[in-house]
């Protein structure tokens, strides 16, 4: 059995040891946690932004299309024939991750984020392609987005092809949900749009002789436990860990809505899983 300190050291040594222990404890308490350490260095924390970093514009007349991408990989402006689809009032477009295994979520919807992303690790723009890589603060996930401008033609508007490659760095298998989301305000109208959806495509449009914007799931080769596309009866981004909630819109729905696509799957350690979706005017 280990003997007590008083039985093996003198009283002065006890005082010295007590003082050293208290100082060490105070120093330990002063050490920031990982999240606090990032917070003390603002350059290490990623902040939500709606500011365009790269803008693509192609086509003429009724097929003239323009959209832009932020440094965080959000598409915060999208217009067709001078009719704006996203950049009106509160601007919302982006992505989210639900780590069901770790009971945590991460999102960046442009108008706000979850506060647990690092700044963009890598950003490149080459021709019609923008590539953005971000890591979560805890280091568990990295998300590489490849956003491609599919140029307009004489007979068709342009499209934004969005590839999201999610990598699990945790060393263990994890259950995860990956999202894409857009608050559609067709023709700069935030409360009078028509929304509808199929299994693969959701869209919002301004009634009458106006245009709209659609989001289509282009991923069919990846094994998932569930995947779907639908319209929400809210303009806000989805709860990352609730795939079907009170926000699923009735078909058809008219009002201030948004569109989402999600993929629920098992992420193996050290592996990357890629999902593709496309925004296109209608």
Q: What is the pLDDT of residues 241-275, one digit of tens each?
A: 999 999 999 999 999 999 999 999 999 999 999 99
Instruction: Return the SS3 of 19.
Output: helix
Instruction: Return the SS3 of 178.
Output: strand
Residue 165 per-residue DSSP state: E
Q: Are residues 54 and 27 in the same domain?
A: no
- Tell me how many domains the chain contains: 2
Are 69 and 78 in contact by the 8 Å Cβ rule? The answer is no
Q: Which residue has the higher pLDDT, 161 or 40?
A: 161
> Which has the closest alpha carbon to 180: 156, 205, 160, 198?
160
What spatial distance separates the first Cα and last Cα of the chain, rounded to whole Å? 79
Q: Are residues 9 and 67 in the same domain?
A: no
pLDDT in tens, 93-137: 999 999 999 999 999 999 999 999 999 999 999 999 999 999 999
Range of the domain at 133: 42-281
Q: Are residues 90 and 193 in the same domain?
A: yes
Give me the mean pLDDT over the 72-97 stretch. Answer: 97
Domain-embedded: residue 36: no
Its pTM surpasses 0.75: yes
Domain-embedded: residue 37: no
Measured CA to CA, the distance from residue 181 to residue 235 in angstroms comes to 10
> Which has the closest alpha carbon to 207: 218, 221, 192?
192
């Amino acid at each position: 059995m280990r003997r007590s300190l008083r039985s093996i050291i003198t009283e002065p040594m006890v005082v010295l040891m007590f003082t050293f222990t208290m100082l060490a404890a105070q120093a330990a308490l002063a050490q920031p946690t990982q999240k606090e350490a990032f917070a003390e260095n603002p350059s290490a924390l990623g902040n939500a932004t709606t500011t365009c970093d790269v803008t693509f514009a192609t086509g003429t007349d009724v097929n003239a299309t323009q959209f832009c991408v932020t440094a965080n990989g959000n598409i915060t402006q999208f217009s067709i024939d001078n009719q704006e689809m996203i950049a009106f009032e509160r601007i919302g477009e982006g992505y989210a991750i639900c780590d069901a295994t770790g009971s945590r979520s991460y999102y960046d919807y442009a108008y706000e984020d979850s506060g647990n992303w690092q700044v963009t690790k890598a950003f490149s723009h080459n021709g019609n392609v923008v590539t953005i890589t971000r890591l979560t603060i805890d280091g568990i996930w990295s998300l590489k987005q490849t956003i491609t401008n599919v140029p307009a033609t004489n007979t068709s508007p342009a499209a934004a092809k969005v590839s999201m490659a999610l990598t699990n760095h945790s060393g263990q298998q994890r259950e995860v949900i990956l999202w894409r989301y857009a608050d559609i305000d067709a023709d700069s109208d935030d409360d009078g749009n028509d929304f509808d959806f199929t299994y693969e495509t959701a869209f919002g449009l301004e009634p009458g002789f106006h245009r709209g914007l659609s989001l289509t799931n282009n991923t069919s080769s990846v094994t998932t436990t569930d995947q779907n596309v639908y319209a929400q009866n809210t303009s806000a981004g989805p709860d990352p860990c609730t795939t079907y909630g009170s926000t699923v819109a009735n078909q058809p729905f008219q009002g201030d809505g948004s569109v989402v696509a999600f993929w629920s799957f098992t992420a193996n350690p050290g592996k990357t899983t890629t999902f593709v979706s496309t925004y296109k005017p209608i």
